[in-house]
Structure 1
Amino acid sequence: MAELLIVDNDQLARREICTIVKESKYHFLSIYESSTVQRGLLLLKQSQPSALIIDLSLPDMDGIKFGRTALQLYPSLPVIVATQLKMFELAQDAINSGFSSYLLKPLSKNELIETFDRVLAPEISSELNMGTNKRSGQFLSDIKNPIESTIQYIQMNYGEQLTLKGIADLVYLSPSYFSRLFKEDTGMTFVEYLSFVRVQKAKGMLRLSSLPIEVIANNTGFANSSYFATAFKKIVGKTPSEYREQFHWKSRASLKADSGR
């Protein structure tokens, strides 16, 4: 959904990545940050980002183990390591674990952007096409992991009309127990999470397409454009039109700067 999650307990390192991203052609990415794996896992489940950047020296879990956990949840997620550790064994572990890249700090702007070009651009394009075409993927419920199954189902079918009872039935739980379990695991109610996912998907469409707002509202599961605008402003702080104009203005400013060189 055109989001980037950074899990690194070094605030300066996170700030460096944010600066590189904001000054690049990937400035449209929404960036989430965490200094711990515990918080990072929560953000990962809530937003299911387009890419994950991790340090290997994390305070509450080994970075390799965290990356593997992330890939167990989302097998197609690009995992990018950014670390000061130059040990061959760690790089080999990262590659064998299925990570997408192993970068050394201090980060090179060109190297990071080239990595994004390789692993992130195709992911964003795929997400945009999925949202525009409203295609539903195959879903298999895992009764041992009902909330993970629910998150997967919502990510695949956010454009459909989803209800708490309907989802609870899919994972074989009573609505009341499912509701309590979902809030404990994600930090949000089912309705809050569903709105959050739909708005995040809509943000990507607003940034990366010229689709009318009414069409985006429909494609992301909102009953009408008025309700879409209300939910969007509550979460983002701007209306869909204001949000789109913000990024289109940045694009126009960038083009103007390039033409003046």
Structure 2
Amino acid sequence: MDDILIVDDDVENRQVMRSILKDSPYQNFSIWEADTAEKGLTLLKNKQPVVLLTDLSLPDMDGIEFGKKALQSHPNTHVVVVTHLQMFQTVQASINAGFSAYLLKPIVKSELIQTFKRLITAQQLHQTAPILKNQKGSSEKALEADLGNPIETAMNYIKLKYHEPITLKEVANFVYLSPSHFSRMFKEETGVTFVEFLADYRLEKSKNLLKMTSLPIEVIASHTGFSSAAYFSTTFKRKEGQTPSEYRSMLSNLTKWPDRG
């Protein structure tokens, strides 16, 4: 669930964190607050937040122990310490407890947002791992070159390896053809160049991920074989007439369109 839990007995600190998050890419997340560990554990059970922000100086329990209890019952929640304490022993204890981040008060907006970006991306990757695995297929699967059908073999090669760096020469070598002859054959049989076919296939896979997940654009670019998010966005817009973000927004708006019968 897209929930955030803040546990801190200082009202002002809770308000600062809430204000930062509400003015960030995570503004649509539900934010819950508690001023004691006991209340925090109840909210953890009921809301199962993706991130728990906790002070270490709670009135009814040591913050390290509270974080440990949180992880024992909710191992998929990221525990982030937010504290004035700068002692090395405390930082080490937090690391040993399996906490995800250690931030010092007063909170710096950029540090909090960067921490959330890292943790939410990790969470999304975990949740969408089955989709990514299905998208990629099995890279370990053996593919034998059918020399009687070299272009069909080449297309199967692309479908199996599209998420990796692929060159025309590499595929031509796989089907035992010279790059120039392979390039001509590919265009004659498919109607498009090797580069166009590869880009189109990667784009189709990226569109599935944009539709089915909330993964960041740079993560989708990486998982579909593009060398960078910028190159992915440029290629996507040239082909689709809109950026990946615009495409995702369009899909989101379509799903919210009222049913007019």
Flag the structure with more relative contact order, 1 or 2, with Cα contacts below 8 A and sequence separation at least 6.
1
Alignment TM-score, normalising by the size of structure 1: 0.49
